[in-house]
A and B are shown apart, each in its own frame.
Chain A
Amino acid sequence: AQSVTQPDIHITVSEGASLELRCNYSYGATPYLFWYVQSPGQGLQLLLKYFSGDTLVQGIKGFEAEFKRSQSSFNLRKPSVHWSDAAEYFCAVGGGNKLVFGAGTILRVKS
């Protein structure tokens, strides 16, 4: 069965600083990987996804993620964080017709 680990529960960065959120997955076959963002009391918004091809994936709002098969990782990055990026971020892996989510990382942005 697939699983996802997001090792950081909370991360605080200064506005304008770079960001990297970590995600490690476990899945026996080629994974389908996703990053979602959730604001308080809201549903999930898809930031980006990886199915195949180029391992560096560009998403919305200036986010990107890199799939590294050797490390079983799919880390999310943004070069310059904005205060509006404060939210909770979920990594998910698709397999067996289901999505499995990580525990989430809460991003706080300080001015």
Chain B
Amino acid sequence: GAVVSQHPSWVICKSGTSVKIECRSLDFQATTMFWYRQFPKQSLMLMATSNEGSKATYEQGVEKDKFLINHASLTLSTLTVTSAHPEDSSFYICSARQPEGGPSHEQFFGPGTRLTVL
């Protein structure tokens, strides 16, 4: 159980276009999802916390107008990279927290999305 999927697994786009990445919890309802960014040979950096039905909470230094997050249902959160530029190229990973009553702070991670902006 506790499977999280991401789509697409990789995407290549032209500079200036927007890209949407989906994160789904397949077998549980996730009121909270998280979006991370990982640069090559670096650790995961939390970008934002996504709560179902409310606005996402962004970490300091993350542009909310650049990285649009929508968590419209209990099983789906989306990250849209708007007007992408080469410096946005990275590995984006989402995670979902266990539903209420499960162990706190335990997150289940998706397989990641490799974004390359040309």
Q: Is A103 an interface residue (CB 8 A)?
A: yes
Chain A contacts for B110, CB-based, 8 A: 43
A-B contacts, 27 of them at CB < 8 A, read A32-B105, A36-B109, A41-B112, A41-B114, A42-B111, A43-B6, A43-B110, A43-B111, A43-B112, A44-B93, A44-B95, A46-B108, A46-B109, A49-B106, A90-B44, A94-B104, A94-B105, A94-B106, A95-B105, A97-B32, A97-B49, A97-B104, A99-B105, A101-B44, A103-B42, A104-B42, A104-B43
Q: Is A51 an interface residue (CB 8 A)?
A: yes
CB of B35, distance to nearest CB on chain A (Å): 12
Q: Which label, helix, strand, loop or mixed, suits the secondary structure of the B interface?
A: strand
Q: Which chain A residue has the least Cβ–Cβ distance from B97? A: A97
Chain A contacts for B105, CB-based, 8 A: 32, 51, 94-95, 97, 99
Q: Is B103 an interface residue (CB 8 A)?
A: yes
Q: Is B15 an interface residue (CB 8 A)?
A: no
Q: Which label, helix, strand, loop or mixed, suits the secondary structure of the A interface?
A: strand
Q: Which chain B residue has the least Cβ–Cβ distance from A90? A: B43
Q: Which chain B residue has the least Cβ–Cβ distance from A100? A: B46
Q: A32-B104, A97-B49, A98-B49 are in contact. Are A44 and B43 (CB under 8 A)?
A: no
The interface size of chain B toward A, counting residues with CB under 8 Å, comes to: 22
- In the complex, what distance in Å separates the CA atom of A2 from the CA atom of B68? 27
8 A Cβ contacts from B15-67 to A: 32, 34, 42-44, 46, 49
B 84-108 to A, binary, CB cutoff 8 A, 1 in contact else 0 = 0000000101010000000111111
The reply to whether A43 and B43 form a contact with Cβ atoms under 8 Å apart is: no
Chain A contacts for B108, CB-based, 8 A: 46
CB of B42, distance to nearest CB on chain A (Å): 7
- In the complex, what distance in Å separates the CA atom of A46 from the CA atom of B98? 14
Known pairs A51-B103, A94-B104, A104-B42; list 18 more (Cβ under 8 Å).
A32-B104, A32-B106, A42-B111, A43-B93, A43-B112, A44-B44, A45-B109, A46-B108, A49-B103, A90-B43, A90-B44, A94-B105, A98-B34, A99-B46, A99-B105, A102-B43, A103-B43, A104-B43
Chain A contacts for B104, CB-based, 8 A: 32, 94, 97
